[in-house]
């Protein structure tokens, strides 16, 4: 009769992990989650916020565009004034 090898009987410490049993969660946790969801819900719907932000960005861009075109027009006028060189003497 042979002796069982010591290697065969050596237990892997990781086997202990398989003895851990699944457990059920406390039912109160659900209530807390529902409360947190209610708190985290925004008063103003997110879609409305997005729409408002988009409108605001449009206004700002239009305003910027108008200001830019107006100022370029002004510089044009100014350049026109500069280019109008008149060297004639009136009281010649």
* List of residues contacting other proteins (CB under 8 A): 13-14, 16-26, 29-30, 32-33, 36-37, 40
End-to-end CA distance of the chain, in Å? 140
**Token code pair at residue 2:** 């042979």
The alpha helices in 1-92, defined as continuous H runs, are: 6-9, 28-40, 46-83
Alpha-carbon span 3 to 7, nearest angstrom:
11
Shortest approach of other proteins to residue 52 CB, angstroms? 21
Q: Which is nearer to other proteins, 31 or 71 (CB)?
A: 31
Q: Which is nearer to other proteins, 1 or 24 (CB)?
A: 24
Shortest approach of other proteins to residue 57 CB, angstroms? 24
Shortest approach of other proteins to residue 25 CB, angstroms? 4
**Token code pair at residue 89:** 């003497």
């Amino acid at each position: 009769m042979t002796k069982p090898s010591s290697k065969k009987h050596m237990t892997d410490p990781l086997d202990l992990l398989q003895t851990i049993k699944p457990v059920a969660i406390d039912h109160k946790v659900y209530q807390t989650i529902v409360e947190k969801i209610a708190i985290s819900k925004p008063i103003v719907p997110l879609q409305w916020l997005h729409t408002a932000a988009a409108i605001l960005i449009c206004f700002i861009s239009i305003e910027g565009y108008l200001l830019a075109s107006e100022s370029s027009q002004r510089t044009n006028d100014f350049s026109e004034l500069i280019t109008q060189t008149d060297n004639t003497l009136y009281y010649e």
